[in-house]
Structure 1
Amino acid sequence: MADSLTNTAENLTLDWINGVGTPTRPTAPLKVALVTANGTDAAAGTEASGGGYARQTLTVAAAVNGATANSADLVWSNMPATTIVGVEIWDSAGTPVRLWYGPLSASRTTAAGDELRLPAASLTLSIQ
């Protein structure tokens, strides 16, 4: 998801790099949400719901050359019947903050009870 930071994450990053104020680090762990309609910089997409769907914890390695990726498979079991078109990354605050968003390279349709898996290294995050 190159250049897919939300406005909130862009502001936090710029403030941190430029030493403006005291930006608060997002609350860990970060969570990956699946969406049925993609969001924008300013607005969240439509998150999947139903079945056994729940946001999954994201683990990543240290960034290299401006990029990192999920270091473990992301697995959603017992999915609802739906079509997933993208992902969003949220923090774990009491009121979660959306940080990243982006479309999948190809939509994925699940039947009720299916498993959806994003293998390790398939969700790339970069700042360009």
Structure 2
Amino acid sequence: MTALSDVGETQLLKYLVNQTPTAPVQPLKVALMSAAPSDSAVGTEIAGGSYARQNITFSAVSADVATNSADITFTNMPAATVGWVNIYDSAGTPVRWLHGALAASKTFTAGDSFTIPAGSLTITLA
């Protein structure tokens, strides 16, 4: 996965050209999407069951890659098909920073659990 949202692109550029960027409010959270997001559009987040965005932490960046440092588990999922994720911060009105596709979409029946294993969600900038 990795594409910066329009907000992420703007804030990274501000950082690179020595302006004052707005940093993401921690912790970052993973959202599961049933319709594709883009840099400017959030896509469609699943809803129902006990679904809630889950915290994500990252390992140290190595070889231009950051990966999730722990399993990310969603429990009591609604019936849905998920093919994408968004990464939001925890601001009062959460800001979407990143988005990307899963390696393969996953279909859930109500009550299923879904785990993204540690090291499986990768962020790279190219």
Same fold (TM over 0.5): yes
Q: Who is 2:101 aligned against?
A: 103
- Structure 2-normalised TM-score? 0.97
Q: Does 1:92 align with 2:90?
A: yes
User: Residue 31 of structure 1 corresponds to which residue in structure 2?
Assistant: 29
Residue in 2 aligned with 1:13? Answer: 12
The code of the aligned residue for 1:105 comes to A
The number of aligned residues is 126
Stretches of 4+ aligned residues off by more than 3 angstroms: none
**Using the alignment, how far apart are the partners of 1:78 and 1:121 within structure 2?**
23
RMSD: 0.7
Q: By how many angstroms is 1:114 displaced?
A: 0.3
Report the residue type matching 1:92 in the other structure: S
How many angstroms does 1:19 deviate by?
A: 0.2
Three-state SS of the structure 2 residue aligned to 1:88 is: strand
**% identity of equivalent residues:** 48
Normalising by structure 1, what TM-score?
A: 0.96
Higher alpha-carbon deviation: 43-52 or 62-71: 62-71
Aligned AA for 1:79? M
Return the alpha-carbon distance in structure 2 between the equivalents of residues 120 and 45 of structure 1: 25
1:113-128 → structure 2 map (5 Å cutoff): 113-128=111-126
1:64 aligns with 2:62: yes
String of CA shifts for 1:1-43, please: whole Å, max 9, x gaps.
Answer: 23x01111011011101102x1111100000000000111001
User: Who is 2:44 aligned against?
Assistant: 46
CA displacement, residues 94-121 of structure 1 (integer Å, 9 cap, x when unaligned): 0110000011110000110000111000
SS in 2 for 1:35: strand
How far 1:75 moved relative to its partner? 0.3
Q: Which runs of 5+ in 1 are unaligned?
A: none
